[in-house]
Amino acid sequence: MKPPKFAYHAPTTVREAVELLAELGDDVVVLSGGQSLIPMLNLRLANPTDVIDLGGVDGLGDVAARDGGLDVGAMVTHRQMETNDLIASTAPLAQHAAGFIGYRAIRNRGTIGGSIAHADPAAEWPAVVLALDGAITLTSAEETRNVAGDDFFESLFTTAKRPDELVTSVHLAGRFQDNWGFSEFQRRTGDFAAVAVAVGCVITDSSVVEARVALAGVAERPLRCPAAEQALTGPHTGGAAEVAAVARDSFEPVGDSHGSSEYRKRLVFAETHRAVAQALGSDIESIANA
Amino acid sequence: MREITVTINGKPTSATVSPRLLLSDFLRQDIGLTGTHVGCEHGYCGSCTVHVDGASTRSCLTLAVQVAGRAVDTVESLAPDGEALHPIQQAFQDCHGLQCGFCTPGLLMSVAELAGTNPECGRAEIREHLAGNICRCTGYHQIVDAVERALVALREAQVDG
C-alpha cells in the first residue's frame, strides 16, 4: 500500500516537462493532482520508472476567456472549477458538474487535465467536454496541437494523446451557457457516476438549433448520443421524456455487480430526462413510463 | 532523496525524503505527528485528512515532495497546547460524535474546512461534506449533531470575539 520506487522529476516549465517526456521513454507517468495516480501507485496498479510532477510548472493553472468560451489550464483543480466566477458565468455546466466529483478533499487536489488524460469512462469531465464542444490542447517537444473532444476519448483509459504529449489546456465553448443540463446518479455520494448525462443546447426563437447530449458510464468511453441530439433539435416542445427514451434505446450498457444492463438503461432514461428538462427549462414529467 | 521545507502546524520544517514517501507517513513517522490516522491508504476512508494551504487533502494521496514550500496543518493544530479543546473537538465530545476515535482526526479536519467555507450550512450539507469520511462506529447521527453544535459555537465565538 505504498508507492513503488520511481525517479522523481519536478520541472518548472512546460518545455522542461515535455523534454523529460520525450527523453524518458514510455514507462513514465505524469503527476498532476494525483487523486487517481497515487491510489494506483499505492495499490501497485502502476509501476512507472519515472514520475514527472507538474505541481511546480508555471502557466498551467489559469482560466482565461477566448473566442466566447474558456481556456482552462490542465492544473486547474475541480474545486477551482466549482468556485471560479468565469467558469460559473461562461460554462455553468462545468461549474455544476465539478461538484459531483469525489469529495471536497479530492476536488481540492484533483485537476481537470489529469482527469481528462486519465479518461475514466465514468468521470464527469470527459462527458462535460463532449457536451460543451470542447477541445484538448496537447503539447510535445515538437508541436502543440488541438484535438476535438469528440476525437480525443478512444476507449477505457485510452485517448488520442501520444506518450510524448502533455495535456496542457482544455477549451470549453461558451455558447451553451444559457441552456445546459447535468444529471448524475451515484450509488453513494462521491462515487464515480453509475450514469451521468451532460447536455448543451443553443436555443434561438424557441427552437433548439444545436444540441449535444453526452453520457458517461454507459460504455468504455464517454459517448454522445446523436439520435437523442436529433430528437432534441427543432421547435422547443419541452419533450424531455421523448429525448430520454431515444437515449435509453440507443445504448446497450454492460451490466456488472453494480447494476444490470436493464437497470443502467433505466438510469440512462432518468438522468437524460432530468438533464434535458434542465437544459430546456421545462418540468420533469412523470417517469412512470420509463 | 529530496530536500523539502514544509510549514507544519505553523512551524517551518526541513527534511530529506524519498520521493515515494506519502505525506501521511512523513507526518507520522518522520515528524512524529501520529494524530493523522492511516486507514485505507487509497483515498477512500478519509482518516488521513489534513489541510494543505488551508484546503482539506488526503495525506495518503499526496507525496511528501508535493507539499514542498506549502503549509500543512494536522489535527494537532486544533488544540496546539494540548489542553483546551478546539470548539469542534469539544462538540464531538459533548455529542458523543466518536466511539473508537480512529476516523475522528480526519473528520475534525474536514469539519474545520467546512467551518471556514460554509459556516451556515444545515444537516444535509454537513452530511454531503462529510461523505468522504467513513465512520464504522457511530452511525453518523451524533457526528452530524456535533458538527451542528460546533458551527453554532464557532459563530457565537466570532460574534463575541
Task: Judge whether residue A6 has pLDDT over 50.
Answer: yes
Task: Judge whether residue B61 has pLDDT over 50.
Answer: yes
**pLDDT of A235:** 87
Q: Domain A63-172: which topology?
A: 3.30.465
A8, A34, A79 ranked by CB distance to B62: nearest = A34
What mean pLDDT comes out for the span A125-142? 98
Which residues in A lie closer than 8 A to residue B41 (C-beta atoms)? 1-2, 42
A46 or A259: whose pLDDT is higher? A46
A108:B25 CB<8 A: no
Which residues in B lie closer than 8 A to residue A8 (C-beta atoms)? 2, 19-20, 65
What mean pLDDT comes out for the span A236-250? 90
Residue type (1 letter), A67: D
B22, B42, B57 ranked by CB distance to A108: nearest = B57
Residue type (1 letter), B19: P
Task: Judge whether residue A288 has pLDDT over 60.
Answer: no
Task: Judge whether residue A289 has pLDDT over 50.
Answer: no
Q: Domain B2-77: which topology?
A: Ubiquitin-like (UB roll) (3.10.20)
A279 or A191: whose pLDDT is higher? A279
In terms of CA atoms, which chain B residue is nearest residue A55? B66
Predicted confidence band of residue A290 (pLDDT cuts 50, 70, 90): very low
A-to-B residue pairs, Cβ atoms closer than 8 angstroms? 88
Query: Could you tell me which of A270, A147, A276, A138 has the C-alpha nearest to residue A201?
Result: A276
CATH code for the structural domain at A7-56: 3.30.43.10
Q: Considering chain B, what percentage of its residues have pLDDT values greater than 70? A: 99
In terms of CA atoms, which chain A residue is nearest residue B132? A103
CA distance B91 to chain A (A): 22
pLDDT digits (tens, 9 = 90+) for B82-132: 889 999 999 999 999 999 999 999 999 999 999 999 999 999 999 999 999
Task: Judge whether residue B149 has pLDDT over 90.
Answer: yes
Q: Does B56 touch chain A (CB under 8 A)?
A: yes
Convert A59-90 to b/e letters by CB count within 10 Å (16 or more is b).
Answer: ebbebeeeeebbbbbbbbbbbbbbebeebeeb
Q: Considering chain A, what percentage of its residues have pLDDT values greater than 90? A: 88
Mean pLDDT, chain A, integer: 94
CA distance A227 to chain B (A): 35
CB within 8 A of B101, min separation 6: which ones?
A: none
Q: Does B46 touch chain A (CB under 8 A)?
A: yes
Q: Three-class SS of residue B67?
A: helix
B132:A102 CB<8 A: yes
Task: Judge whether residue A79 has pLDDT over 70.
Answer: yes
CA distance B40 to chain A (A): 9
In chain B, domain spans? 2-77, 87-160
Task: Judge whether residue A231 has pLDDT over 90.
Answer: yes
CA distance A51 to chain B (A): 9
A41 or A237: whose pLDDT is higher? A41
CB within 8 A of A152, min separation 6: which ones?
A: A116, A129, A136, A159, A160, A161
A106:B43 CB<8 A: yes
Q: Does B63 touch chain A (CB under 8 A)?
A: yes
CA distance B81 to chain A (A): 27
Query: Could you tell me which of A115, A170, A162 has the C-alpha nearest to residue A143?
Result: A162
Which residues in B lie closer than 8 A to residue A49 (C-beta atoms)? none
What mean pLDDT comes out for the span B8-35? 98
**pLDDT of A238:** 65
Beta strand ranges found along chain B (DSSP E): 2-8, 11-17, 49-52, 55-58, 71-73
Q: Does B112 touch chain A (CB under 8 A)?
A: no
Predicted confidence band of residue B56 (pLDDT cuts 50, 70, 90): very high
CA distance A79 to A95: 9
Task: Judge whether residue A236 has pLDDT over 80.
Answer: no
In chain A, domain spans? 7-56, 63-172, 180-280
What mean pLDDT comes out for the span B132-144? 96
A285 or A248: whose pLDDT is higher? A248
What is the grid cell recorded at B157? 465565538
Domain A180-280 has CATH 3.30.70.270: no
Q: Does B19 touch chain A (CB under 8 A)?
A: yes
Q: Does B86 touch chain A (CB under 8 A)?
A: no
**pLDDT of B161:** 63
CATH of B87-160, one of 1.10.150.120, 3.40.1130.10, 1.10.3720.10, 2.40.50.140: 1.10.150.120
CA distance B33 to chain A (A): 19
ipTM exceeds 0.85, yes or no: yes
A8, A34, A188 ranked by CB distance to B61: nearest = A34
pLDDT digits (tens, 9 = 90+) for A56-78: 999 999 999 999 999 999 999 99
